[in-house]
Structure 1
Amino acid sequence: MKDERSASQIQFGFLPEQTVDAKGGVWKVAYWNDPPKEHAVDIKALRHELLRAVAPWTDAQRDSGFAGHLRASLPVELRRLNRDRGVTLKPFPAIWMCRRSGCRRLHRQKQGKCKCGATGGRAQLPFVGYHECGRIREPAVPYCKVHNQVSIHYPGTASARDIRFYCPECNVTLRHGLSNNIPCECGDGSMRYNVHRAASVYTPRSIVMVNPPTTHRIEQLTAAGGPARAVEWVLDGMQERSASEVGATSESLRQQLKASGLPDALIEQTVRQAVEAGALRGAPTALDIDQVQKEAAERDAVLMAMAAAESRITIGDLQSSVDALSEAGVRYHDYYPRALRDSGMESVELFDKFPVMVGHYGFTRGPTGPGESSLRPFRDRDGTYFVYGEVAETEAMLFRLSPLRVWRWLRDVGMVDDPEPGTARDARLLLLRSCQVPSWTTEGNDAGRALLQLVHSLSHRAIRIMAVHAGIERNALAELLVTPHLSFYIYAAAKGDFVLGGLQAVFESDLDTFLRAMVFDEHRCALDPGCERGGGACTACLHIGEPSCRFFNQHLSRATLFGPAGYLR
């Protein structure tokens, strides 16, 4: 059987071991046919992102050894869809039901003549058995010991436990439900049964990361001073077009000259002359913070540098592109800056070539919460781990919060008591030193948790409002948080019905209206007061689809934004 689906639908909905609907039946994805290896991906960054993503399962000791193998440098590859060969599906479960009313006999073949005389096509049973270890099986069907036949009766519900199996000849009830007491082969509990499309049967686990567009860009950043220079660029407010344009230091110049093969004596002479001429910048600021937090700050700064390497459009670019007295000029010079101030933003920027890698590294069966069931990473027979996805360029918008306003907000909620910083750079540096942002492996401190809740809540509110203003499906947008640097990205996910250009249209024509909506549009929840008592975040107000969220809809609160001391008050 052959069928056609879009590439994005296969990449997000036809993953190995997943059951799918196709051609009027139920199938299990056996494997992707000859998926080519994607070489344009930073494997080191991919390993780190995978370790971050699987941390909840690692902490619960349910990651199938994945994290340990990643740290031991076992091979991991990004595999993309072979658009010519597609994927291979197998019927699952291979149990079919006679469609004739009053018969409903179950068969092992899709075609054939039923005992009732019917010869038409048969309907496939849509239920499957699953276990948290990752196994899946067909339902165990009881047969009449006398007539060796069985029929099925649906009482009008989709619940597996309401099904009745009976003999169509003697009408004896053989069993109610699909039986949840059949032991799993793993020896740790029994199989459960549900409709094959249920999230408990299969939940894909995904990652998103900014992928360096080219090795040349990495080399440029390294020549400019590497991660330390990227942090300096962010602390300075990203004034240069990219981090690689930041002025050279004595050390970065020395490394450049060494790469050219010049002798050491000539290198030192050249560096000394450059220092005397005042052509070099000072050394990067020493970050007097915890090593884990320092590595996170440098990693996120490199992420921002790589994102800006290919394209970056600022509000300043919009202002310089039009006459200041024109209608667009008035909007860019007056309305946009005022909306930024009202929303507590330092800047909003557009990236029309956002280099993002989206992939799936495994799946879970059973409870869908992170770490609540066993993770089953995708792995080849030779031990190589696979991430099924793609590297693409898409649209994104970067939102950078005002560091001075963030500091004042943290002061007002009692999280910092330092003297007020004099400049935006001082505020960024002070917040970087004061806020230990939590992750799946570290708890952070009170200020860091408050900062994460603020950035994450703003990101979700922005996504929900952006979907309305851009006229697109909410699940077609996703977030990427850069909390240590008071920033977050909203980008067009490589799925859904997103129309390329939607974010650009908002940025160029409607940014002020969008920002005002973030501040002044309805912020109450339809489920209040229950939602407020439960933390002030639920599916009716702040939650988004989990594939779009970096923290599984945790670290969210409307009170952070709109409470008595809310950031948007």
Structure 2
Amino acid sequence: MNRMNLDFSAHSALFRAMKNMIVIHDDFVFRVKSLERRHPSKDINITRLKRAIFNEIQRLFNFRIQSYNLLYPPITDDEIAGLSIHQIVVKKDETQEDDVYAGRVELYPLVFMCDICGDFREISSQDLQYFDTKCCVQGCNGNYRQLSLLRYCRECGKVEHFRYWCRAENDRSLSQKYTEHPIQLLQPSKDALFGWKFRCKTCGWEKDIFDFSCDHFDQKAQKKISDKPPTKFDPLTIREGGVFQPIVKTYVSIEPLENEKILEEEELLIAVGYHLGMFSFLEDILKRSEGEAEIMSFKQVKNLLSSLRNLKSAGLIRSEQEKVLDQMESVLENLKTAIGLIGTRNLDEFLTIKDLTMPRGDPDDIYSRFVKDYEGHLESSSLPADKKEEIRNKYKRMCGNFGIQNITYIPEIKLVSAYIGYIKGPFPRDGVPHFEPIWIDERKKFDVHERNFEAYIHPYNTEGILVEFNPLKIVSWLRENGFDELRANNESEARKLLVLLREESDDGPYNMIFRLLHTFSHAFMMNASTYCGLDTDSLGEIIFPSATAVMIYSTSVINIGGLQYMFENNLPEVLEDMRNHIQECIYDPVCSSEGGACFACMYLPEYVCGYLNQTLDRRIFTGSESLRGFWEHG
């Protein structure tokens, strides 16, 4: 019973049963110790993905260390070499309707109590095979059951099972305890933890379960986690997703570069240049040489630069080709001077999605028929002209309210979701979560030269809806909130200003845009689920602050076309419902005065929200005494 293999359903909540997570099976609690895995697929740009995952792990773990003054060594840039990426093996189970993936679990915690007399036992993994579930107390006919209770330290993040033995047995091994000094767990009420006590039946010592303090000492690593004084533990009832919460990040899958002539850092500079129209001269050149030329995609620009560099290094480049290469290199050099090699968050992912919306040049291409913006869809529909006009006016009015420039349905997007670590204990709404990387050997996590960690990925194809906001309206709104240095006369200037913004203080312009997009994203998912046949557990979000855009996608293993149906039939209604949703919360005025977001109005499960329900605020739209709301902007 201690160790066993289990199959987990690979449905929309795939990442709820990852390594180190809690699972409940046949009334027993287990912790996942390992997963069936393989090397990542060759069509995944693993170099780029590894860098993105590492940056997120490093940011979250180091922020935790800094916030709580912990003694863990911060993760350094050089430790990227110690990160391993594994792909989860998802397979078809003939006995079930759902796909499954396999994992190895261990009984956790190894603490038991009699369901009648309360006799308490802690068992070592070695002794578990000899453990008799019949109560060993003479005259008791009860059975031992697993104690589904842990204790958690808010100061250092330590989570451990409840352990107690009489002080008279401190020097004895675990297998020798509880013989001369048996322990009883007193439970005045099984529905409430208050009043629960451990009691030595030999000498009468009692200890309330709330009286235990954390010494901030890591038993596995044999190191101190914190120098702070002992802190009282909080009891933690075991339930799936309630002890350890998986942190999952989703990335747009970008194909590996065709060769190595473009550096990883340069790819993002190309993205910035493409987004700002700095490579438009390429389309003029193609038009002169080939007549009517199509708009070049982001991918085509990358491949062209790579090919020209190859020709030059091989000594085969022609003079007109070298001129084009020099112009492209000049764009990159100017961008390096302007913004350096520090990446603009996921702009290249946004442009990869935009590539999917571009015409493919083949009028018979089936995929292109399904990629559509809403007005294009409405125009091609069979509705009567007056009905089209009515829907179009409603759609334009709602888009104007939200500052939306365009909404596009994309039938197939390749995404990669990554389980990068987990939160220990409950998520602190007003503090910093205790993020823990997935250590390969927890005994070495204090040693920067020996410690290694891992992440688990799952690539999949799905449908999505891309929502793009008007950059000029966003810049104007930011100016009304005191950012006078942001000046733009047209969309091109606004786009350049926004793409150069950097993350800084919480009330800076970049983070204000993020709050705006994130709040919109949650409201969209919550209201779209009513019409698309998918609950919010089956939806996900990717936010593109630099491009002022949001993508909502389906995480369901079976793509039922729910987002397409909603897009084609109910999009104006969704936007109208969102406005009402954002304006009011059942807990107002408390919710509005204490952050503008809560469980009743904005929060989604942590495994759905890749941003941990942070930076959500309805007031970003409605306004407050200190904030000009987006809807208040003219």
Q: TM-score range by the shorter chain?
A: 0.7 to 0.9
Match of 2:494 among 423, 427, 430: 427
Aligned to 1:259: 310
Question: Contact between 1:206 and 1:361, CA under 8 Å: does it hold in 2?
Answer: yes
**Per-residue deviation, 1:420:** 5.1
The Cα offsets for residues 458-486 of structure 1, whole Å up to 9 and x where unpaired, read as 22322332233435433433322111111
Residue 126 of structure 1, CA deviation: 1.0
SS of corresponding position for 2:540:
strand
- Matching residue within 37, 40, 53 for 1:38: 40
Match of 1:502 among 553, 562, 571: 562
Letter in 1 for 2:46: D
Taking a change above 3 Å as real, the CA distance of residues 199 and 335 of structure 1, as seen in their structure-2 partners, is closer
The 1:37/1:464 distance shift into structure 2, 3 A limit, reads same
Aligned-partner Cα distance in 1 for 2:214–2:398: 61
Q: Structure 1 residue 566 and structure 2 residue 590: aligned?
A: no
Q: Is the 8 A contact 1:98 1:106 kept in 2?
A: yes
Distance in structure 1 (CA, Å) of the matches to 2:428 and 2:393: 46
Alignment partner of 1:52 is 2:74: no
Partner amino acid for 2:352? Answer: M
CA distance in 1 between partners of 2:458 and 2:34 (Å): 17
Cα distance between partner residues in 1 of 2:543 and 2:615:
12
Q: Which runs of 5+ in 1 are unaligned?
A: none
Give the CA deviation at 1:329: 5.1
Matches within 5 A, 1:371-520: 372=432, 375-381=435-441, 384-416=452-484, 421=489, 423-433=490-500, 436-438=501-503, 442-443=504-505, 446-493=508-555, 500-520=560-580
Q: How far is 1:346 from its partner? A: 0.2
TM-score where L is the length of structure 1: 0.79
- Residue 260 of structure 1 and its aligned partner are, at CA, apart by 5.5
Q: Which region of structure 1 is more displaced relative to structure 2, 12-21 or 332-341? A: 332-341
Cα distance in structure 1, aligned partners of 2:394 and 2:260: 39
2:19 corresponds to 1:16: yes
Per-residue CA distance 1:338-369 (angstroms, 9 max, x = gap): 43233310011122322222222223434634
Q: Would the alpha carbon gap of residues 9 and 66 (structure 1) be closer, same or farther in structure 2, given more than 3 Å must change?
A: farther
1:291 matched to 2:343? no
Q: CA deviation at 1:390?
A: 1.0
User: 1:139, 1:178 within 8 Å by CA — same for their partners in 2?
Assistant: no
- In the other structure, the counterpart of 1:231 is 272
Query: Equivalents in 2 of 1:7, 1:248: separation in Å?
Result: 35
Aligned partner letter, 1:37: H
Cα offsets for 1:389-447 (capped at 9, x unmatched): 311222322111112222332233332366651x32233224435xx342xxx438733
* Mapped contact 2:37–2:87 kept (Cα < 8 A): yes
| Residue in structure 2 matched with residue 99 of structure 1 by the alignment | 115
Matches within 5 A, 1:110-149: 110-112=132-134, 114-115=136-137, 122-130=144-152, 132=156, 134=158, 136-142=160-166, 148-149=181-182
Compare 307-316 and 257-266 and name the one that shifted more: 257-266
In structure 1, what is the Cα distance between the partners aligned to 2:595 and 2:511?
14
DSSP-derived class of the 1:357 partner? strand
What's the offset of the Cα at 1:54?
A: 3.8
- Matching of residue 304 in structure 1 with residue 350 in structure 2: yes
Please give the secondary structure, in 1, of the residue aligned with 2:307: helix
1:554 maps to 2:614: yes
Q: Which amino acid aligns with 1:535?
A: G
Aligned pair 1:245/2:297, yes or no? yes
Change (3 A) 1:218 1:402: farther
1:437–1:444 Cα contact (<8 Å) kept = no
1:215 match: 256
* The 10-residue stretch of structure 1 (454-463 or 303-312) with the greater mean CA deviation from structure 2: 303-312
Report the alpha carbon displacement of residue 217 of structure 1 after superposing the two structures with TM. Answer: 8.2
- Does residue 1:197 correspond to 2:233, yes or no? no
| Letter aligned with residue 566 of structure 2 | V
Unaligned runs of 5+ in 2: 92-99, 124-130, 170-176, 284-292, 358-370, 442-449
Note the alpha carbon deviations across 1:109-165, whole angstroms, 9 max, x for none: 353364455667542211234554656345224499896433333222555552133
Cα distance in 1 between the residues matched to 2:346 and 2:523: 22
Counterpart amino acid of residue 31 in structure 1: S
Does 1:268 pair with 2:319? yes
Identify if the C-alpha distance between structure 1 residues 232 and 314 changes in structure 2 by more than 3 Å, giving closer, same or farther. farther
1:276-287 residue pairs with structure 2 within 5 A? none
The verdict on how the C-alpha distance between 1:349 and 1:230 changes in structure 2, with shifts beyond 3 A counting, is same
Question: Does 1:27 pair with 2:35?
Answer: no
Task: Measure, in 1, the Cα distance between the counterparts of 2:611 and 2:338.
Answer: 23
1:348 and 2:407 matched: yes
Cα 1:86–1:248 change in 2 (3 A) is closer
Q: 1:218 and 1:393 mapped to 2: Cα distance? A: 25
Counterpart mapping for 1:167-182 below 5 A: 172=204, 174-177=206-209, 179-181=211-213
Tell me the distance in 2 between the aligned counterparts of 1:155 and 1:419: 67
**1:285 shift after superposition:** 11
Q: Give the drift of 1:90.
A: 2.0
Which whole-Å CA distance do the structure 1 matches of 2:337 and 2:391 have between them? 38
Equivalent pair of 1:453/1:556 in contact (CA under 8 Å): yes
| Shift of residue 301, structure 1, vs aligned partner | 2.6
Distance 1:110 1:36, change over 3 A: farther
Q: Distance in 1 between matches of 2:410 and 2:308?
A: 33
Measure, in 2, the Cα distance between the counterparts of 1:388 and 1:265.
43
Q: Distance in 2 between matches of 1:194 and 1:151?
A: 20
Q: Distance in 2 between matches of 1:526 and 1:126?
A: 34
Asked whether the 8 Å contact 1:345–1:402 carries over to 2, the reply is yes
For these two proteins, the number of residue pairs brought into alignment is: 547
CA RMSD of aligned residues (A): 4.5
Alpha carbons of 1:190 and 1:522: their partners in 2 closer, same or farther (altered >3 Å)? closer
State the match for 2:587 in structure 1. Answer: 527
Preserved contact between residue 451 and residue 483 of structure 1 (Cα < 8 Å): yes
The amino acid that maps onto 2:188 is P
2-structure distance, mates of 1:426, 1:488: 21
- CA distance in 2: counterparts of 1:549 and 1:135, whole angstroms: 24
Counting only pairs closer than 5 Å after superposition, residues 315-330 of structure 1 correspond to structure 2 as: 315=374, 317-319=376-378, 321-323=380-382, 325=384, 330=389
> CA distance change for structure 1 residues 545 and 505 in 2, over 3 Å: closer, same or farther?
same
By percentage of residues, which structure has more strand? 2
SS at match of 1:38: coil
Gap change, CA 1:373 and 1:535, over 3 Å in 2: closer
Aligned to 1:539: 599
Contact 1:324–1:333 at 8 Å: present in 2 too? no
CA contact (8 A) 1:180 1:191 kept: yes
- C-alpha displacement at 1:266, in angstroms? 4.9
